[in-house]
Amino acid sequence: MFAQALDTCIGILRFRKGPEDMPASRGLLLAAIIGGVLLRLSMLLVPAPDATGNPLVLIALDLGISLTCVMLALRSAGHPERFTQTVTSLLGCQLVMAPAVIAARWFLISSLEQPGIGALAQLVYLVIATWLLAVSVRIFRSATGWPLVTCVMLALGIEVLTLLVALMLFAPPANAAAAA
């Protein structure tokens, strides 16, 4: 079943399959959620400069908001039964792309002080982030049946909501805000 899920994730990342091709398995969903937590924990190995907040709370917040928004979107679209496949697809694709994301993040953070390399690192990270955004939009569109623009707004809205809640809980120190 894991081999089929991996094949499906690769197909989704190549825009040749959709979440409807993912096996609808609660065990696979649980494995994807655990993998999502481990992925986010591994991102802590490459600490971001000026990172604030409790990392475990931020991970719970990120996954909690994402899962809740997906559940609400699917209910709103009249397809709550697609939750397992949709979330497994989203998290599975993130896990398949994890090596590239972690490498790009490390490259970005380690090269911010170098003018030419820093710009290249930002470009690499932007390309990977845009690809993952496009994949998420494709998954949402297939799962909900909503128009493309609505799915783009959903994907971006989940990210913005997560960021806003994190900032409300863990506001940057006053001296950091004044320096910016």
Instruction: To the nearest 10°, report the CA torsion of 53, 57, 62, 65.
Output: -120
Structure confidence by residue, pLDDT tens digits, 84-134: 999 999 999 999 999 999 898 888 888 877 777 888 888 999 999 999 999
Domain ranges of the chain: 2-170
Q: pLDDT over 70 for what percent of the chain?
A: 92
Contact status, residue 94 vs residue 34, Cβ threshold 8 Å: no
pTM: 0.90
Cα distance from N-terminal residue to C-terminal residue, the chain: 49
